[in-house]
Structure 1
């Protein structure tokens, strides 16, 4: 059986203020819970490989599923302590790629050429490109190898909204806004109520608006892969 590749951030703090960030635990755990139960194998990659920091705030809102995976020795080792480097990844092995969120992704997902090349290859071979919350910025610069156009141009997507960023009091502390970056890339962006589950599927793209949407992104991906 082919596998699903989960992308995680290496960024541990905001660049301009002394505030911790990193992976939002639930955005990995809730997705992994679904695809693991469906029988899919999972690998974890980050822009630099190795240590993946956790946003400490994600532990304060964690539920039983989050803590299940946080306490799983294999997850802690392969995802948090020793994630793979992009150079370790063969895109041919994967049916889908999933970009997790956390504010750290705003600094190390969008412009990472190696991760882009992996995702573009997975897409070209018919695989799914998925993401949630801030992680969707990893989709912004993906290009069609033949036309050179943005893959998400004209696609229906969602991701962390400008309103959610403002309500989170982080709008002035991120290098750009996820919603704006998707729109600027030509995507058909839409969001719903702040911090409520919302997922959009358009062809090979499946995106979720915020942390509460991670589980449904997993469900929609499993449904698509099982067609």
Structure 2
């Protein structure tokens, strides 16, 4: 049975970007472990469980999983797992990832080793794609340098922030994912003309945002050689 480690934010993960891949991989028989920086349960971004933001069906699905999924409620700290223990490492997005996951040395180690491992894969979604701007290979080069990637675009970010680049909860965004990934040498294309955007470059799979989460999960399963469940 293949296995996957989900690295989830304690500062606000986006519900669909975590729950959709988690449940899709679950349905395909993947053994899933959840990790957070400190080992405390991850915290869902309230907007991603708000029916007015995401619709009643998605909101209910996110709330139920966040409250009842034992893997989410009993994560392991990021200091414990090694990428080599899993077939894939998954980084769900959400603005919260900018404050903890993307800045965590253990999360970056997991990403680096998952992509470097001959049999490993990594899926990075939305704002979590910012971790690519802070992750270096053993050589010291940025992991993303020369790689084709997608992620949360500046054009979308502009519509979410006020003039001081603050989110609706008052937090100032520390950086914009697109800018940082390009600065680290990534070949960025968020495919804004497409309904979804998922990019595969070697053992690295990246996804643009919530609507791309399902496609991203099925793409990862395909890369792992696992039969993909119907959407």
State the TM-score, normalized to the length of structure 1.
0.86
Corresponding residue for 2:24?
34
Corresponding residue for 1:9?
9
Corresponding residue for 1:19?
none
Corresponding residue for 2:69?
76
Corresponding residue for 2:88?
96
Say if 2:7 and 2:35, in contact at 8 Å, map to a contact too.
Answer: yes
Corresponding residue for 1:110?
102
Are residues 1:142 and 2:141 paired?
no
Say if 2:39 and 2:77, in contact at 8 Å, map to a contact too.
Answer: yes
Larger displacement relative to structure 2 (97-106 or 63-72) = 63-72
Say if 2:39 and 2:78, in contact at 8 Å, map to a contact too.
Answer: yes
Deviation at 1:54, TM superposition (A): 1.1
CA offsets 1:76-124 (integer angstroms, 9 cap, x no match): 3321x33210122132211111111111111112221111112222222
Residues 124, 34 of structure 1: CA spacing in aligned structure 2 closer, same or farther, 3 A cutoff? same
Say if 1:136 and 1:178, in contact at 8 Å, map to a contact too.
Answer: yes
- How many residue pairs were aligned? 215
Residues 188, 73 of structure 1: CA spacing in aligned structure 2 closer, same or farther, 3 A cutoff? closer
Deviation at 1:176, TM superposition (A): 0.3
Work out the CA distance in 1 between the residues paired with 2:181 and 2:56.
30
Residues 194, 29 of structure 1: CA spacing in aligned structure 2 closer, same or farther, 3 A cutoff? farther
Unpaired segments ≥5 residues, structure 1:
12-21
Corresponding residue for 2:144?
152
Say if 2:49 and 2:63, in contact at 8 Å, map to a contact too.
Answer: no
2:122 to 129, 135, 146: 129
Deviation at 1:62, TM superposition (A): 5.1
Deviation at 1:210, TM superposition (A): 1.0
Unpaired segments ≥5 residues, structure 2:
167-172, 227-231
Larger displacement relative to structure 2 (190-199 or 93-102) = 190-199
Aligned-residue Cα RMSD (Å) equals 2.2
Work out the CA distance in 2 between the residues paired with 1:43 and 1:113.
19
1:59 to 49, 65, 83: 49
Are residues 1:43 and 2:12 paired?
no
Deviation at 1:143, TM superposition (A): 2.1
Work out the CA distance in 2 between the residues paired with 1:73 and 1:57.
13
Work out the CA distance in 2 between the residues paired with 1:166 and 1:74.
31
Say if 1:2 and 1:93, in contact at 8 Å, map to a contact too.
Answer: no
SS at match of 2:103: coil
Residues 163, 85 of structure 1: CA spacing in aligned structure 2 closer, same or farther, 3 A cutoff? same
